[in-house]
Structure 1
Amino acid sequence: MGRKVLVLNQDYSALSICSVPKAFLLVYLNKAELVAESEQFTLRTVNDEFPMPSVIRLHRYVSLPYKGVMLTRQNIFKRDSHRCQYCGTPEDLTLDHVLPKSRGGKTSWDNLITACKRCNSRKGDFTPEEANMKLRQKPFKPTFLVFLRDFSGSLEQSWMPFLSKREKVFD
């Protein structure tokens, strides 16, 4: 059961994504309420049938001082659609600093991209302009909401009303 459930805070703001068993448990223990259920799937036991959660809302407000996307290798790959940002291949991927570290480049969302080993070696210790290599897209730091909406894999249609709200809250 690899399906995911959108978890909303008490104020209906997107908080996280969790597994179906975790979401069902939160609803069953009365820690959350079912906001939307899957139209295609149900959860079955020997004696009962339950709606499969798609969106749940916590009964208590969870205060998160910073709601950002962690800078990790996998999150960079997700942002860049698991493609080399120079040639577009999905093979032999690694990370590349647009401005090389040896020249003062930082390890940040705005300076890291996904690159295949071949292009990364070809670029070497140069900037893309100096190596005459064009970036497919400029690196950027995704907001929490954008990351949930665009890079979390498959999205349920029932999530969209909660993921299309104003993003400025999460910056």
Structure 2
Amino acid sequence: MLVLNATYEPINVCTVRRATVLLLKDKAEVVEVGSVDLHWATGSLPRPVVIRLVTYVRVPRDSHKRKITRRAVFARDGWMCQYCGARTSLTVDHVIPRSKGGGSGWDNIVAACAPCNRRKADRLPHQIHMHPRTKPHTPGAHIFIQLASPTIPATWRQYLPQAA
């Protein structure tokens, strides 16, 4: 289930069970329903596909709070090497090498194919004339939602504008 904040901003993916609990406690409302109903001993409910929280939940936007994983970097960069555009043998590269004082934050890590990563080695981008195609940045919530649910249902697309 896709979970939207009170402002219709996508914030998470949850299980049907968790969505049902939120609905029964009146903490969320159904925005989109599936074709099958949920039934239990004393009642039933249309199966939610997208729910919206009734009250606004402040979601931390600090880049250090979002876990940096290889898959998240690859998804942010479109599963493509940021130096040559290759889509195979992807690795993670520090734009400013750690040996030269570069950090390990979202703003210094990009997807790179193994040959480009080896070619760049521990040199600065201007030394070898290898600059990333796009400036590295902290990805939006939609990237983490895509990683949590590899297949995006059609009913979710209107709430995930960059994933549509």
Tell me by how many angstroms 1:84 deviates.
Answer: 2.1
Query: What SS does the aligned partner of 1:26 have?
Result: helix
Q: 2:88 aligns with which of 87, 90, 107?
A: 90
Is 1:52 the equivalent of 2:50? no
Alignment of 1:87-126 (within 5 A): 87=84, 88-91=86-89, 93-126=90-123
**What letter corresponds to residue 57 of structure 2 in structure 1?**
V
**What letter corresponds to residue 21 of structure 1 in structure 2?**
R
**What letter corresponds to residue 83 of structure 1 in structure 2?**
M
Q: 1:62 aligns with which of 50, 57, 64?
A: 57
Look up the match of 2:127: 130
Identical residues among aligned pairs (%): 35
| Per-residue deviation, residues 92-151 of structure 1 (Å, max 9, x unmatched) | x3211101111111112111001223221111111233223353322122243x546877
With normalisation by structure 2, the TM-score equals: 0.70
Is 1:27 the equivalent of 2:27? no
Query: What SS does the aligned partner of 2:99 have?
Result: helix
Query: What SS does the aligned partner of 2:125 have?
Result: coil
Sort the Cα spacing of 1:120 and 1:54 in 2 relative to 1 into closer, same or farther, 3 A. Answer: same
Sort the Cα spacing of 1:155 and 1:86 in 2 relative to 1 into closer, same or farther, 3 A. Answer: same
Tell me by how many angstroms 1:43 deviates.
Answer: 4.6
Structure 1 unaligned regions, length at least 5: 165-171
Look up the match of 1:168: none
Sort the Cα spacing of 1:120 and 1:158 in 2 relative to 1 into closer, same or farther, 3 A. Answer: same
Look up the match of 1:169: none
Contact 2:13 2:145 in 1 (8 A): no
Contact 1:42 1:49 in 2 (8 A): no
Q: 1:37 aligns with which of 33, 37, 49?
A: 33
Contact 1:105 1:111 in 2 (8 A): yes
* Alignment partners' CA distance in 2, 1:124 and 1:107: 16
Tell me by how many angstroms 1:58 deviates.
Answer: 2.6
Higher helix proportion (structure 1 or 2): 2
With normalisation by structure 1, the TM-score equals: 0.68
* Alignment partners' CA distance in 2, 1:86 and 1:130: 14
Contact 1:96 1:112 in 2 (8 A): yes
